Amino acid sequence: MGIPFTYIVRNLFARRLTTALTAGGMALVVYVFATVLMLSAGLKATLVATGQDDNVLVIRRGSQTEVQSGIDRAQAGIVESLQDVALGQDGSPLVSKEPVVLINLPKRKSGKPSNVVIRGVTPRGLALRPQVHITEGRMFRPGTAEVVAGASIATGFRGAAPGETLRFASRDWTVVGVFDAGRTGFDSEIWGDAEQMMQAFRRTNFSALIFKLADGEHFDAVKQTIESDPRLTLEAKRETRFYADQSEALATFINYLGTTISIIFSIGAIIGAMITMYASVASRTAEIGTLRALGFSRAAILVAFLGESLLLGLLGGVLGLAGAAFMQTLSISTTNFQTFAEVAFRFVLTPGIAIVALLFSLGMGFVGGFLPAARAARLKIVDALRAA
């Protein structure tokens, strides 16, 4: 027969200060652990959502990012005329040929400069990205020095809000609107007219080509065609895959750093739990003797103390997770090592993260409570009763 659950709960309640301190320590560990997982999940979610599955992105072979890539007009023409490119309502291919560069802008709060992606798009480029829509002001007019800024750039950088002007490439560009791309990577970009950008930056090469597949299933064939054509030195990726790859390095870095820190921190919290549980066993020796004398088995004692420790862990876990849940209201903006450009993303709490964080806290409770519980279970009835 087991010791009643309420007995275990009351024991924790009887030592309020100790319980609060121990659970508080665990809560902080779980908070850090969950926050880090939420951060890398948020980054991945942002970049994966940036692409459309039916869109194909073409860049120069080996160039890794759009900014490093270059595609001349002749090569662009060949890709444009491929059979598998979807046609728009007017019968012309749905292809967007885009120059993509980085410009250095000061942050609105600190004034410190960071790199922002500036992309030249065409009306077709907008059609290829249906998730983008204007939330403030209007779209830029083709053929003018007007630009629109992504939501997080407009608020985060100086000169990027509607009505303000940005100066780069020897010209002043007026920001006429803000666009929302549904919390994707595009929210951290500035868009303007492709041909205007090409002239201003004195470029003859595009950076990337984006086209829609007529049939999404044909991707492998198209990739094969592009990459085996001796006239083309290009590589093709699904847009979703391309952006997911760009989150890889930073997400891995955050994950490694966060997991290492959490594991080191958890040692501290486990020790805290162990101290608490040893003290609990020591001060209740006579009580344990009484319980045994009443007929509770060693196993029941072990389960009771382990249960107490697990409950302590669970309490810490729930508190820590609750704290981490509040982080969802915040977003973070930093430079992605891979693209060398600013990217804004949110903390995202997924059910998976919640489960892992709670298991982590239960694990801390189990490891911290096992040795003390074993000691309690091993006590001899006579010795324990005499201790009082």
Task: Single out the residue of 9, 14, 279, 359 in contact with another protein (rule: CB under 8 A).
Answer: 279
With H, G, I as helix, E, B as strand and everything else as coil, classify residue 385: helix
**Which among 180, 211, 187 is positioned nearest to 332, based on CA atoms?**
187
Regarding 62 and contact with another protein (CB under 8 A), the answer is yes
Task: Take residue 1 and report the two structure tokens written for it.
Answer: 């027969």
Regarding 265 and contact with another protein (CB under 8 A), the answer is yes
Integer CA distances (angstroms), 155 to 178, 290, 333, in order:
10, 67, 11
**Which among 99, 115, 125, 97 is positioned nearest to 157, based on CA atoms?**
115
The site map against another protein for 22-41 (x = CB under 8 A) is x-xx--xx-xx---------
Task: Take residue 108 and report the two structure tokens written for it.
Answer: 């609105």
Give the nearest distance from C-beta 222 to another protein in angstroms: 22
Task: Single out the residue of 13, 74, 90, 112 in contact with another protein (rule: CB under 8 A).
Answer: 112
Q: What whole-number distance in Å separates Cα of residue 223 and Cα of residue 187?
A: 28
Residues in 199-238 that interact with another protein by CB under 8 A:
201-202, 204, 233
Give the nearest distance from C-beta 126 to another protein in angstroms: 24
**Which among 200, 193, 194, 208 is positioned nearest to 76, based on CA atoms?**
208
Spell out a b/e string for 220-237, using b for 16 or more CB atoms within 10 Å of the CB, else e: eebbebbeeeeebebbbb
Q: Which is nearer to another protein, 5 or 256 (CB)?
A: 256
Task: Single out the residue of 14, 264, 293, 359 in contact with another protein (rule: CB under 8 A).
Answer: 264
Residues in 168-187 that interact with another protein by CB under 8 A:
168-170
Task: Single out the residue of 87, 127, 271, 381 in contact with another protein (rule: CB under 8 A).
Answer: 271
Binding site for another protein (CB under 8 A): 17-18, 21-22, 24-25, 28-29, 31-32, 60-64, 67-68, 101-104, 110, 112-115, 168-170, 201-202, 204, 233, 254, 257, 261, 264-265, 267-269, 271-272, 274-276, 278-279, 283, 332-335, 340, 342
